[in-house]
Amino acid sequence: MPAALQDDLLQAMERDEVSLPSLPSALFFGLLLRNTMEGFFADPMYGGNRDKVGWRLIGFPGVAASNYLEQLDRHGVAYRVEPVSILDIEQGRAEVDGQNYTKHIPIRVEPGT
């Protein structure tokens, strides 16, 4: 189905204008939207959010980090780090400290970005 037609169908389902055999299309649309968001923002170990793209989009650091505690009193200062997932820890792609807190690696942000 072409992308424009997909958009039209989803919009019609959201407005409850599509007849489905067992439930209102607006209810189905709401469930579909919720499940899509859950997959997009979940830990990648569950199969979605490939390469942590959802987390990068919103600036979510992932698993709690010990160096985050230092940031709590820095109001209005962005915490820009490479996101770390549970899967990163399980597969040894992320370091943890002596208390099992993740060590986050800061993202270098160029001026003007």
pLDDT at 74: 81
pLDDT at 106: 81
pLDDT at 85: 92
pLDDT at 76: 82
Q: What is the mean pLDDT of each run of 10 residues along the chain (113 residues)?
A: 96 98 96 93 91 89 73 79 89 84 79 61
pLDDT at 11: 98
pLDDT at 103: 81
**What is the model's pTM?**
0.68
pLDDT at 17: 98
pLDDT at 108: 78
* Cβ-contact 101, 65 below 8 angstroms: yes
Q: How many residues does the chain have?
A: 113
Nearest to 63 by CA among 20, 94, 40, 36: 94
